[in-house]
Amino acid sequence: MLQKNSDSEQIKLIEPLEEESTNQVSTKPQDEKENGAKKQIEELTQKLQAWNRQYYELAQPEVSDEVYDACLITLKELEKQYPRLALPDSPTQKVGTKVASKFVKVNHQKKMLSLENVFGDQELEKWVNRLPEEAREFVCELKIDGVSISLVYDLKSQEESKKGKFARAVTRGDGLTGEDVTENVKTIKSIPQIISQEIPSLGDSFEVRGEIFMTYSNFQELASRENFANPRNATSGSLKLLDSKITAERNLSIFVYAVFFKDHSTASGSLFPGILDNSQTHFENLQKLESMNFTVNPNYRLCKSLDEVKSFCAEWNLKRKELDYPTDGVVIKVNSLRQQEELGETSKYPRWAVAYKFPAEEVETRIESIEIEVGRTGALTPVANVLPVQLAGSTVSRASLHNADQIQSLDVRIGDFVRIRKAGEIIPEIVEVVLDKRNPNSQPFEFPTKCPSCGTPVEKTEEEVAIRCSNVKGCPAQIQRKIEHWASKDAMNLKGLGESIIQQLLQKGLIVNIADLYQLTKDQLLSLEGFKDKSAENVLLAIQDSKKRSMERLIFGLGIKHIGLQAARLLAVRFHSLSQLANATTPEFTELDGIGDTMANEIVSCFADADMQFLTSQLEEVGVKTDFSDELRRSAEDEAMSKVLAGKIFVITGSFDRPRSEIEQMILRAGGKASSSVSKKTNYVLCGEDAGSKLTKAEELGVQIISLKEFLQML
């Protein structure tokens, strides 16, 4: 079970309940155990699902990998003890999360599975021992911390210019359905755009799978301009941009690790691993992919025993620091393709592969000082300034101490030697104090009783761990953080308006609140340090562009306490303007799944405040869009359109007066599926001029044949 504090992110794990003895006479203790297990399973399932949404949809991991993995293991153990209590939507049985609606959804021809994690040599040995003896030859590859992708190549196109071309890129999504991000993936220079060599045994198409990632060096350059937590977040965000030109500027990379062909000897035309050029093993496939100009991670190795696998894992746990890309473990795969097929898979994992997770890297350094930062909601957060040290691919000079309770729990003092790590490979945090190196004259750290920014006495409630400054309207630090939040990427995305620029604007009296940003002039910006004509023009353009941001980003940007991006989306769907939102009541908010009493009360209190009312009226006056009725109506129409052809399978044949890709997109947007071959499952064959064998096959099977005009009438 999880106990989580919203401010401190402190997590406690409660061990799974022990099974009752079957010799127990009374059933009451067993009932109590089951009730406790049921509650734990429900709470863990809910938490893990929420964390999955944060990780896969928003690219904003809420907790570290260690916490997530520990909770998932606890849930697995509980479900093993009480299988009938397992929920149908359990995270132990699902891959990723649902697909967002911004891109066209595409069904995978073969499910994109996740990998089961093992921690340490003992768990690795247990996994190996479950395999038959003949399957115990392995290929070890570095586990890249990026975004899984499927690349499809069309080998049998009727148009000669398209034969062998890279046709589509689809994200993993929930494992069954992903998002079409083809245009963005085309910007990755190392992906072959065409298969030039003849490979007749591959059939109509073949699929290559890999991991898209961002190098540390490219991430550091991007992080100087954009607000991303780590390379994986930056990669995910870059793939979901609506402008592929911006994606191209991000310099993404890819390593491929698997290939599948379509087996037309079976009725289903299933996908199987292999290239069929005499390949019998995964190792041969990797070599073949390299010869076809795909980029395979060079650090893979054929291991013929468990000891060799352990040696590879231990070696790269140390050497990973030398790499310019993020890796958090080793993927271990059974080498024989025949054995892979025989071992099969569960609903979530292949039985022939596993991910060996590296322990979080820790280094020792010394605390030079402890600063207290004041956030936009007034929370005082302690941050340790440490002697700069290399950690997980970057130089770390600051580490989070979370809150006053954490300082007291660790007994952290200025001058202490400490061990730090990156929680989830992202945020540097202090793990422990090296007590035998402590100066005997050191003094415990005293948390301030007054706000370091405005001098107001701080407050602490029983419900929260956070200590806050109550001077909400007059604290300079809170005012600056609120403006920074409005300008942030997930809110109004005012590119070029970073912390130092906003600080200068406030110090010079050029702005007082967020509405003042929309009154800035070029001359005012040029008066600031570091600005020239072009940079000033770019900032003014970004400010103007932000006036038409979506309602969810506007709500999020206002910085209402407890209202994150996900809650802002719920509110945007329910209320079609800022005015409707401001006039809504607490019951109207709490009827929304995901909005609780505390959040509802904060929203009502926020919009009842005279300063907020004045601010929203100012935003309207300067032209910021606050009425979204038309936009949401169009969104509803798009949603309705997505159900018109739900579940219908189309095959397109012949030539048309518009690109075939455009017709395919129309089918997909309407909820249908575009297939490449005619079968009994095909609902319609969309026939153009000079149709060939597919038309003949459709007539033989009695499949309904329609023209483009009839198809458009269906829509």
Please give the positions annotated as active site. Answer: 143
**SS3 of residue 42 by DSSP:** helix
What phi, psi does 459 have (nearest 5°)?
Answer: -130, 155
The CA R_g of the chain, rounded to the nearest whole Å, is 28
**255 neighbors 296 (Cβ within 8 angstroms):** yes
Q: Which two tokens stand for residue 187?
A: 């910007």
Compute CA 146 distance to the chain's CA centroid, rounded to the nearest angstrom: 9
Three-state SS sequence of 681-712: CCCEEEECECCCHHHHHHHHHCCEEECHHHHH
Which tokens is 20 given? Answer: 């009752």
Candidates 255, 232, 247, 218; CA nearest to 54 is 232
Residue type, 652: I
Report the distance separating Cα 206 and Cα 151, nearest Å.
8
Q: Which long-range contacts (CB under 8 A, 24 or more apart) does 84-89 make?
A: 85/34, 85/37, 85/38, 85/41, 86/41, 87/41, 87/42, 87/45, 89/45, 89/49
Q: What is the DSSP string of 222-278?
A: HHTTS--SSHHHHHHHHHT-S-HHHHHHT--EEEEEEEEEE-TTSTT--EEE---SS
Whole-number Å distance between alpha carbons of 73 and 273: 29
Alpha carbon 408 to chain centroid, angstroms: 33
From the list 556, 548, 526, the residue with the least C-alpha distance to 622 is 548
**Phi/psi of residue 372, nearest 5 degrees:** -110, 115
Cβ 94 vs Cβ 174: under 8 Å: yes
Contacts of 555 by beta carbon, 8 Å cutoff, 6+ apart: 563, 568, 571, 572, 578, 581
d(CA 553, CA 691): 48
CA separation for the pair 659, 164 (Å, rounded) = 18
Single-letter code of the amino acid located at 549? R
Alpha helices by DSSP H, listed for 165-204, are 182-185
- List, in order, residues 6 or more apart from 502 with CB less than 8 Å away: 480, 483, 484, 487, 511
Cβ(648)–Cβ(669) under 8 Å? Answer: no
Given a contact cutoff of 8 angstroms between Cβ atoms, the answer to whether 288 and 275 are in contact is yes
CB neighbourhood size of 435 (10 A) = 9
Say if CB 374 and CB 453 are below 8 A apart: yes
φ/ψ of 403, rounded to 5, equals -165, 180
φ, ψ for residue 205, nearest 5 deg? -155, 160
Rounded CA-CA distance 486/482 in Å is: 6
